[in-house]
């Protein structure tokens, strides 16, 4: 059944891939994006299908904007955020304003003007902070080490509070190291994997700080999109948090080596900059059993296949992303 879908941050990486998949499924799609250079929106992400979208330029911190965007929507995917870890340390007040107050403004607009819609919040694995158990699951304690991760953790809790206190149909899906087409690959503020991809596509050195031994789960973007739709569709997801991450884990050095092999460039090791070392979480191994068991989601895309699809996307349009 066709539904009306609102995607905040819809011109960004996750949002634009959600938009494309929504159209493929026959849904009516509205994107809300403030087009801030710091937030990662890129018109190139939707240029092939922009004619089929309703695009609103506006800020989630504005009540009137949220009301206009929300009215009549069946599903809301809340992707809008300032996502730079280091940037959040340099400008913590702005990060709080967008990631926390913006989320509250959106949730309250939903409570007042469209309480019957589904709401899926896009969380992040980094909000847990350093691992304290053998694997990180949804019950792992949260001690984030940077302001972005702390604010994402807080906004997730607001999402769950609105489910419990007001009966709204909200859910959370936490993503980890998402890569693939339509990502911001120009610099490292939107994630190291996509930055490595950007360096490789230019034939530049892929720089690893330290020995790169820390482990990570990767997630190809189309798998993440399917996880978000699974949360939007299932009654069992209401009021719940899910980790959506691939089964395999790799060291940062292994990730860089695979990117260099598949896309270009070469790997170089440098000492840790002090400010980056201070906010690194070390190993991060995610348990994805809950989303598999409750929502029936399964990751489908292996690393090298995902990198091949990523290369195919950027080869014809690299100038739009650098």
pLDDT in tens, the chain (322 residues): 789 999 999 999 999 999 999 999 999 999 999 987 667 789 999 999 999 999 999 999 999 999 999 999 999 999 999 988 888 999 999 999 999 999 999 999 999 999 999 999 999 999 999 999 989 999 999 999 999 999 999 999 999 999 999 999 999 999 999 999 999 998 877 788 999 999 999 999 998 888 888 889 999 999 999 999 999 999 999 999 999 999 988 999 999 999 999 998 899 888 888 877 777 777 789 999 999 999 999 999 999 999 999 999 998 899 989 8
Q: 193 Cβ partners below 8 Å, 6+ apart?
A: 177, 178, 179, 218, 255, 259
- For residue 170, the cross-strand partners are 119
Q: Is 125 exposed, middle or buried (0-12, 13-18, 19+ CB in 10 A)?
A: buried
- Mind listing the domains of the chain with CATH numbers? 4-179+218-246+286-300 (3.40.50.720)
Closest by Cα among 144, 50, 53, 54 to 99: 144
Task: Read off φ and ψ for residue 38, nearest 5 degrees.
Answer: -80, -10
Q: Positive or negative CA dihedral for 258, 262, 263, 264?
A: positive
CA distances from 54 to 7, 57, 69, 83 (A): 10, 10, 10, 24
Say how far apart CA 153 and CA 101 lie, in whole Å. 13
SS3 269: strand
| pTM over the 0.85 mark | yes
Q: State both tokens at 11.
A: 């011109």
Cβ neighbour number for residue 270 with a 10 Å cutoff: 10
Q: 296 Cβ partners below 8 Å, 6+ apart?
A: 230
Radius of gyration of the chain (CA): 18
Strand 219-220 versus strand 54-57 pairing type: unpaired
């Amino acid at each position: 059944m066709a539904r009306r879908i609102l995607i905040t941050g819809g011109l960004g990486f996750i949002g634009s891939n959600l938009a494309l998949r929504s159209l493929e499924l026959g849904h009516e799609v509205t994107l809300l994006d403030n087009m801030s250079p710091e937030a990662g929106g890129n018109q190139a992400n939707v240029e092939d299908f922009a004619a089929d979208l309703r695009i609103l330029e506006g800020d989630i911190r504005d009540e009137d904007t949220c009301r206009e965007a929300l009215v009549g929507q069946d599903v809301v995917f809340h992707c809008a955020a300032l996502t730079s870890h280091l940037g959040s340390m340099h400008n913590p007040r702005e990060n709080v304003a967008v990631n926390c107050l913006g989320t509250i403004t959106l949730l309250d607009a939903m409570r007042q003007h469209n309480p019957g819609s589904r709401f899926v919040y896009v969380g992040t694995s980094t909000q847990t902070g350093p691992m304290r158990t053998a694997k990180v699951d949804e019950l792992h304690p949260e001690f984030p080490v940077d302001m972005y991760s702390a604010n994402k953790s807080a906004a997730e809790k607001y999402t769950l509070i609105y489910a419990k206190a007001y009966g709204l149909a909200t859910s959370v899906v936490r993503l980890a190291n998402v890569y693939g087409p339509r990502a911001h690959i120009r610099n490292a503020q939107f994630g190291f994997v996509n930055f490595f991809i950007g360096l490789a596509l230019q034939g530049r050195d892929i720089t690893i700080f330290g020995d790169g031994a820390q482990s990570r789960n990767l997630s190809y973007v189309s798998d993440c999109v399917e996880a978000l739709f699974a949360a939007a569709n299932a009654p069992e997801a209401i009021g719940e948090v899910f980790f959506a991450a691939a089964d395999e884990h790799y060291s940062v050095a292994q990730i860089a080596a695979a990117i260099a092999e598949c896309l270009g460039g070469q790997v170089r090791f440098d000492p840790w900059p002090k400010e980056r070392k201070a906010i690194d979480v070390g190993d991060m191994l995610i348990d994805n059993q809950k989303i598999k068991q409750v929502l029936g989601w399964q990751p489908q895309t292996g690393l090298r296949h995902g990198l091949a699809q990523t290369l195919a996307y950027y080869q014809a349009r690299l100038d739009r992303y650098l």
